[in-house]
Amino acid sequence: MQGGYTSNGNGNDTGNGGPFRLWGLSMFGQASWLLIFAFLSVIACIPRFKREKWSIRNGVLAFFLLWLITDFVFFSFSNFFHRYYLCVLAPPIAVLIGMGLPEMVQAFKEKRKWFGWLLPLSLLVTSIMSILFILHYPILRLFLVPIIALFTVISLLFLFLYRRKEKQGYLPPAIACTLAAILTAPFYWCLTVIWFPPVNSTMPYAGPELATQVQTRSMTSNQETMVAPDASTKAMEDYLVKNYQPGSFLVVTSRSDNAAAFIIDTGLPAVAYGGFVGTDKGLTLSEIKNLVNSGKITYFLLAEETGPGEFSNFSISAYVKTNAKLISPSEYGCGNMISSLNGTASFSLYRFNK
């Protein structure tokens, strides 16, 4: 399915920082459909907030408003995050709209000055922003835009008729069409994850781009081996499984993505002393020594050169090189090859003697 936005392949295209970042092409479809509606819902709750200053309801309103503002500021200006982090926006958006929509309807019914116009205003702004975003997807223009536009027009028509004639029969279909207009597009985006399951489960996102996804995105070479191990990695895994000692770790390495591949492929325990991307001090040198002495660690996969962001613990490296035996790649059937697991560092396999 063709769209105006094309991923650059890094799976983490969050755009440039700024107050409008969440409405950018790569971000809007993930969690921003109802942001404006949520903020206008808070405005609709102001009269009740003034009347019931210390009520539990107002405490809930304040809590979720602070949640939304905090997340909004963070995601607007943060230097680094993944798009799937935006899921934390869902609870405050849902709660604030759930609290604000009835207030909008009541204000509209009572014709309260400009508060009475928040309902049609929220509908109109949300629908227009959704349509402007969808216009970047040529195929989606043909059916999503007409659906949203139709429900919006019908809702506004019923609201106009109610305003003129004040017949209760006009209000329920107006509210129903309002919900249909603002939820059609995000509902479709949710379905894309079901219709086109993401190849890269480590960097999930929703959108029509998934239909044309032909390869994994933003995955290290070792993450790729979770799907299909290359020859050198497979040979090393077979060697480690053949020599595995029950009750011990299959192998110790620096990064969790490296360890994860061995766990997934073999079903045996592995551990990363550097945590998620090798930057954490997950295991200290003292702890590693204790695990070696107790027989929990036999094989150690050591990075010969540090990749970007990877934690370089020279004391651990020196200990391994001094006390463990370097295993020639030929022993596990790789000729003279040294495994390169994450595309940035070459790895050597060491064995601690009992």
User: Is the confidence at residue 227, as pLDDT, over 70?
Assistant: no
d(CA 326, CA 323) in angstroms, rounded, equals 10
Query: Residue 342 in contact with residue 257, Cβ under 8 Å?
Result: yes
Amino acid (1-letter code) at residue 184: T
Tell me 225's DSSP state. T
| 102 and 250 share one domain | no
Most confident range, picked from 82-91, 166-175, 203-212, 227-236 = 82-91
∠ CA 63-64-69 to the nearest 5 degrees?
Answer: 105
Q: What is the pLDDT of residues 328-350, one digit of tens each?
A: 888 877 654 444 454 445 788 99
| 230 and 311 share one domain | yes
Query: Residue 353 in contact with residue 300, Cβ under 8 Å?
Result: no
What is the total count of domains within the chain?
Answer: 2
User: Is the confidence at residue 221, as pLDDT, over 50?
Assistant: no
pLDDT at 312: 55
pLDDT at 338: 45
| 156 and 279 share one domain | no
What's the predicted TM-score (pTM) here? 0.70
| 138 and 109 share one domain | yes
In SS3 terms, 172-194 reads as HHHHHHHHHHHHHHHHHHHHHHH
Is 163 a domain residue? Answer: yes
Is 8 a domain residue? Answer: no
What does each C-alpha distance from 45 to 98, 102, 172, 240, 336 come to in angstroms?
11, 9, 21, 62, 70
pLDDT at 305: 57
| Closest alpha carbon to 257 in 223, 299, 218, 296 | 223
Band of residue 229 on the pLDDT scale cut at 50, 70, 90: low
In DSSP notation, 281-296 reads --S-HHHHHHHHHTTS
What range defines the domain where residue 180 resides? 21-212
Band of residue 233 on the pLDDT scale cut at 50, 70, 90: confident
Is 2 a domain residue? Answer: no
Band of residue 70 on the pLDDT scale cut at 50, 70, 90: very high
d(CA 87, CA 205) in angstroms, rounded, equals 10
| 94 and 230 share one domain | no
| 65 and 192 share one domain | yes
pLDDT at 7: 37
Residue where a domain terminates, one of 171, 191, 212: 212
Cross-strand bridge partners of residue 300: 252, 350
Q: What is the pLDDT of residues 113-141, one digit of tens each?
A: 889 999 999 999 999 999 999 999 998 99
pLDDT at 336: 44
Pairing between strand 347-351 and 325-326?
A: antiparallel
Is 7 a domain residue? Answer: no
Q: What is the pLDDT of residues 276-296, one digit of tens each?
A: 777 777 888 999 999 999 999
Cα 163 to the chain's mean position, in Å?
43
Token pair for residue 167?
């017949």
Task: Count other C-beta atoms under 10 Å from residue 75's C-beta.
Answer: 22
pLDDT at 165: 81
Band of residue 8 on the pLDDT scale cut at 50, 70, 90: very low
Token pair for residue 233?
């990695």
d(CA 264, CA 266) in angstroms, rounded, equals 6
Average pLDDT estimate for 67-92: 94
pLDDT at 200: 66
Average pLDDT estimate for 57-61: 92
Sheet bearing 299-303, strands edge to edge: 271-272, 252-253, 299-303, 347-351, 325-326
Quick one: 299 exposed, middle or buried, by C-beta within 10 A (0-12, 13-18, 19+)? Answer: buried
| 204 and 67 share one domain | yes
Band of residue 159 on the pLDDT scale cut at 50, 70, 90: very high
Which of 160-169, 182-191, 195-204 is predicted least confidently? 195-204
Average pLDDT estimate for 137-149: 94
Band of residue 11 on the pLDDT scale cut at 50, 70, 90: very low
| 41 and 158 share one domain | yes
Helix and strand numbers, DSSP H then E, in the chain = 14, 5
| 256 and 321 share one domain | yes
